Amino acid sequence: MTSAAVAQRRGSYIDRPTPSSLADVVELILDKGLVIDAYIRVSLVGIEVITIDARIVIASVDTYLRFAEATNRLDLYEKGGKGLDELTASMAEKGASGKTKGAIGGAKEKVKEFVQGDDDEQEDDGSSGDGARRRPRSRQSASSARRRRSSNEDEEE
């Protein structure tokens, strides 16, 4: 299996990141995996803030504007004289991701900022700061939650 992971890297038709990039790992593992019960979730609060934020960004008007920008940008190089069909054909041939790449993907970038942000204490907006700062509390929460747990047990059983 390990050999498969290495061998496939030469395949040029799909992207197969090894090792996985941070963005891939964020998407792969956040919100996933075993969660035991409410009291363990206490230690996960900071992470959940990140994912919720990302979804809000995706759903916003911002998305429309980004796509409008990307679409508008297309005609900038259309003015160079090539017709639309011709360009479509040459796109298909070279398979380039092209100049509009990067206009979109804001949410993922945002997640990356949050995750990386804790090293340089960035506080560009309230939510990312919160996400990072909530982490220190979580370890205390684990032990205090354990105490709370005994009082919750009656309800749960």
Range 47-106, binding another protein (CB under 8 A):
47, 58, 61, 63-72, 74-76, 84-85, 87-88, 91-101, 103-105
Considering the complex, state which of residue 36 and residue 151 has its C-beta at the smaller distance from another protein: 36
Spatial CA neighbour of 132 closest among 118, 112, 113: 118
Of the candidate residues 6, 11, 120, 151, the single one contacting another protein (CB under 8 A) = 11
- What is the 3 state secondary structure string of 76-113? HHHCCCCCHHHHHHHHHHHCCCCCCCCCCCHHHHHHHH
**In the complex, least distance from residue 90 CB atom to another protein, rounded to whole angstroms:** 10
- Exposed, middle or buried by CB within 10 Å (0-12, 13-18, 19+), for 72? exposed
Residues 28-57 that bind another protein (CB under 8 A): 28-36, 40, 43-44, 46-47
Is 152 a binding residue for another protein by CB under 8 A? The answer is: no
d(CA 148, CA 18): 43
Nearer to another protein, 85 or 126 (CB): 85
